[in-house]
Structure 1
């Protein structure tokens, strides 16, 4: 008997295990270093190297051979993996020197260094469990954080010394604080100088942040875990920057904005990006590493909010600044003060800057993400013309191109050298074996990107099926993409007897700043209106296949909020909901995310986006699911909504998940969650 999709989905961590990732290309373009586990159900990630000319792979580091395969992670590393949504184990991150001849990584809190020329790996003695090891560009040193202190170790004589020691238990040097990691995609807190003789280092003091406590009710003998959580309207961590030299000198880099968004240190010197607390202003500074003095290079303002973009700032060979900003209705790539992309091409992120070439991802059509390159005043399409979702990295004339389309199952990684395909890096990811029946359409009065998924055996017009809306529906996440892997779970739900509709409404990316900013001061009304609009648009397109008298909705995180919102405010449209880890009261969510869209709590925009006032309106079946160990959307969201529903006399169902975080990575939990949702929806919709 073949393995069920829920079991396979859980065992393969949503079919991510065994896929190559984390590419670093040597400057000469002759070698590619990457991460991959040895199989589609193997959660232990190894470090590999690919020889471009010969097309051969070489295993550099196998965690099972180095440690026996057991992981004992320090709490800081567990938190870092939660922020990055890391689902695997083993070597989940690494760094290299500029020449890509030395790599450093952490395993079970121990520091390992690999010589990529010989393939030898050695373990170094450290002062404690290691977080975020980073090799200096010259390959002479490796930095790491332990106990909140930033250490530097000489790779030749292995002498270890403390570069910065925390003044209290609430202080760390060299680590990204919670907000940076969770909301600004900044996972690091220190940056080497190109010469390897100094570092730009973040000092974070979390003492101003409120103490929250995450209890484990299933194990009452265990003390609750204390967490510093900056909820909306409350203080953030105090973040400072210093230039720390290996000779022991220390220079402060002053800035006045609330948030440190990003930092880089290239051949032209350090640059930092800061953002105001209200997120309507973002500034780029050049830093003098000798004095710490800053020079303002650019300031962006927006009456709604300024966006945070991955991969910038950077510089071309001549020092021209590479930047991304919203301008004239589009997210545009800037070189110097000049936009070099049209407003109709929505730039998603910058991937690499090599010399005078900028490799970036952008969308002309919202469901497609293509790979583009800028050079000498022109942009060119790098990825194939076939619609899909593409990514990549480039150096030394070599391009590693990752391809996802609707016509191919899974992702492919192709290696090209000077434009000619010379091989591929194998993926060991499992194949789900589903017969995808996905139609990508534009639905409703706003031409919303919408996917309609039917059961694999469904004949058009043969039966009117109950409908399951399956959205995320919120900022910074897109569900409707021209990539088969985006619809695996939705297809499985469809195969259980549903017509599944997935729609990206206002607030989601891909259609430009105006579309995204429609949720300013109201995270509830536009997203919910657009789910209704897309549903009716899909029914108009398939009138003989969708039964609008039986409509369910499911979602997780923002999607969970949207699902609960749907049955509370539009019971005339939605007849049952599964809300996983829902944000029910935005006062309980973090500062940076929540205040970007709703401002401070005292500005009066929170009630319209809260679920509590609608509790007495519930008349449809609602299943609330929440991991009790969730440190992002804490379980208090679900528990407080449940209390409000109980006080209003409204029956509902709560499924608490003991020991489960926001990601639900546990295999048995992930499998049974899918089965329980189907069972609930079938009973609720008849």
Structure 2
């Protein structure tokens, strides 16, 4: 009896708990067509309201020639603006001029109506005593006396404007080719190719001397570079390989009745490349010497770096095809022998685009950035001995080198993940000595920072924010590291008065149960807390970067989609960049993974915390690699993702561009390429899929989408295909974005979208 009573009691308790849980569970949001129409109208009204409210997230400082002051334009509500001038030493800020008086002065000179609240000045220079300005308004250059506001037309002043956004350190893009001066250092000889051979021609006599004789039209010598002392010429025997073409048809060219065929060269994974075999030519002895090094069959001829004061030796960088080996190689011009100063190898990949080497020839050193210790850091390399010394270290990421100060032996750089208690993706700016000492955080405030410097680097403009925290723009001293003044602090009161919900930053554990996965959540402004809303993921899992927004932005597409009755999220899963090497390595030969295991766990954790999140109705959308991911979600995880919209996707990594795909999928092309292809796996489709492609896409060939569609048809799968005539690499533009929203409304909200045009767009 006691046991039966206990069982009866337990059953009753369980029934009560189950009923209570069912009652607590939110009702799915399932609007009528009329309610969706109303959501469209409210969303459009909110977008309009938000666009009329100015939130200053950054400024462009226009530094004056003295480097002690600058002016900037501040955007105001309703597209109005005002101009300020700032004294850098004190941070004193004041109006640059009387806006109404200057507008009238411009009107008088140009006979054009000018609104003082909407002045547009693109260039402006103050006189030394600040009593007059020379500026450009529209197409006119004017000079105005600020004491009496008399203006007159003038010409552009002979002043070189300083661009604060220009990189301070010159970077060479490895695919950009090799550039050198064909003229000798003493300007007496010119190196040239003649009938496939290296010939030097004397400036005065016109005499020509052949330094090679075995070159041919099929394998000529070329890409010549002189040593600084003029004793040697470095050249290459080149075996050319033509890059194959891809094609597309413009179907709807005005004034024609036939499609127009277009083509362009486009290297795909596995294609052959032009190769370069290095030789040394001794100008005095007229002898040539083959360098004892492998052919360069990836990228072009390399940039050369000669030793300071000793042209016998030079170095060049070599990235092996497949991205698993990087070398800094030194060559002896007398013997042709080589030695490896740096020889980095990895079982996965070396992220070639983020290799950084800066040479200090006077001290026979180089600053080199690598992930060889598991995190991206800078090393000081002795180019004579090959000895490496860490400059930066720790479980955080050096994001980029801002500049190298050779005199002070300091490195200025961007980093993320160093500051405890912060989003590990937040960028901060730092300075450190080559010896790894004297680290200074130039941007200590919590947030994601964007910095520009004054011409002499004594001052910096620091703009920082978080996706849900208002922006601040400050003036700081780089000498002391201290803040001089806050120039702009955004007021969000008008924005919040519209009813908009700011996004939430959400963190959950990855598939390993330890690693934090970071993302953001956007909700409808008028969300009913008692309803459960479908989830839409904005996905881009390309390994070249991280993609979740970190800066404040009042208007974006995710917020716009959320207004229609969705919870929209964006997540950086494993396999994307800017975390540890192990985090990044998940993508290696594994692009189909796309971090889905982490993404799904993240969304389930979100649903566990918020009953308004309905993970039984999940869609996703993306463009380019995101288009590949959006389709991949339906193919490889149909138990979770139900609806996808994929724009201009690279649905098979063998069809897409060589440089991007071999970086992550490796070389040579193996069976894993096909195994992870959306095209190969098309028959697995279970959910509702829309494909969007522009017929003139030159980034990802349109046939990538069309071949995928072909396989879906062969597998008898239902899907929608939107081909947009004349459009390039895009999400489909206004029409495509509208079609995407309708597709989600139909398949996630289970209602017919409003008649096109009725929603007011």
Give TM-score scaled by structure 2 length.
0.61
Within 5 Å, give how 1:56-71 maps onto structure 2: none
Q: Deviations over 1:158-209 (max 9, x none)?
A: xxxx9989999xxxxxxxxxxxxxxxxxxxx9999999xxx99999997521
Q: Deviations over 1:500-539 (max 9, x none)?
A: 1222111111221111111222211352322222222222
Counterpart Cα distance in 2 of 1:357 and 1:27: 26
For 1:631, what is the secondary structure of its paired residue? coil
Structure 1 unaligned regions, length at least 5: 43-48, 59-90, 92-114, 122-133, 138-147, 153-161, 169-188, 244-250
Asked if the contact 2:451–2:463 (Cα under 8 Å) also holds between the matched residues in 1, the reply is yes
Counterpart Cα distance in 2 of 1:414 and 1:265: 38
Of residues 510, 524, 545 in structure 2, which corresponds to 1:455? 524
Within 5 Å, give how 1:170-249 maps onto structure 2: 207-219=241-253, 221=258, 223-238=260-275
Q: Deviations over 1:621-663 (max 9, x none)?
A: 1111112222121111100001111111111111122222225
**Corresponding residue number in structure 1 for 2:443:** 383
**CA RMSD between the two structures:** 5.4
| Stretch moving more, 433-442 or 552-561 | 433-442
Of residues 698, 711, 723 in structure 2, which corresponds to 1:656? 723
- How far the C-alpha of 1:31 sits from its partner, in A, is 8.2
2:709 is the counterpart of 1:642? yes
**Corresponding residue number in structure 2 for 1:350:** 401
For 2:627, what is the secondary structure of its paired residue? helix
- How far the C-alpha of 1:540 sits from its partner, in A, is 1.9
> Cα gap change, 1:662/1:642 in structure 2, threshold over 3 Å: closer, same or farther?
same
**Corresponding residue number in structure 2 for 1:324:** 369
**Corresponding residue number in structure 2 for 1:312:** 356
> Cα gap change, 1:610/1:413 in structure 2, threshold over 3 Å: closer, same or farther?
farther
Of residues 528, 532, 545 in structure 1, which corresponds to 2:596? 528
**Corresponding residue number in structure 1 for 2:543:** 475
Counterpart Cα distance in 1 of 2:747 and 2:275: 48
**Corresponding residue number in structure 2 for 1:159:** none
2:737 is the counterpart of 1:674? yes
Within 5 Å, give how 1:74-113 maps onto structure 2: none
Counterpart Cα distance in 2 of 1:217 and 1:239: 41
- How far the C-alpha of 1:573 sits from its partner, in A, is 1.0
> Cα gap change, 1:389/1:224 in structure 2, threshold over 3 Å: closer, same or farther?
farther
**Corresponding residue number in structure 2 for 1:437:** 503
2:628 is the counterpart of 1:561? yes
Within 5 Å, give how 1:27-66 maps onto structure 2: none
Counterpart Cα distance in 2 of 1:211 and 1:501: 38
> Cα gap change, 1:30/1:228 in structure 2, threshold over 3 Å: closer, same or farther?
farther
Asked if the contact 1:311–1:352 (Cα under 8 Å) also holds between the matched residues in 2, the reply is no
- How far the C-alpha of 1:439 sits from its partner, in A, is 2.8
Within 5 Å, give how 1:342-421 maps onto structure 2: 342-355=393-406, 356-364=409-417, 365-375=423-433, 376-378=435-437, 379-393=439-453, 395-408=456-469, 412=473, 414=475, 416=477, 418=479, 419=481, 421=483
**Corresponding residue number in structure 1 for 2:328:** 284
> Cα gap change, 1:441/1:229 in structure 2, threshold over 3 Å: closer, same or farther?
same
Q: How many residues align?
A: 555
Counterpart Cα distance in 2 of 1:559 and 1:359: 33
Q: Deviations over 1:134-176 (max 9, x none)?
A: 9xx9xxxxxxxxxx99899xxxxxxxxx9989999xxxxxxxx
Asked if the contact 2:543–2:664 (Cα under 8 Å) also holds between the matched residues in 1, the reply is no
**Corresponding residue number in structure 2 for 1:617:** 684
For 1:215, what is the secondary structure of its paired residue? strand
> Cα gap change, 1:639/1:554 in structure 2, threshold over 3 Å: closer, same or farther?
same
Counterpart Cα distance in 1 of 2:617 and 2:65: 57
> Cα gap change, 1:287/1:38 in structure 2, threshold over 3 Å: closer, same or farther?
farther
| Stretch moving more, 408-417 or 220-229 | 408-417
Counterpart Cα distance in 1 of 2:724 and 2:371: 41
2:289 is the counterpart of 1:259? no
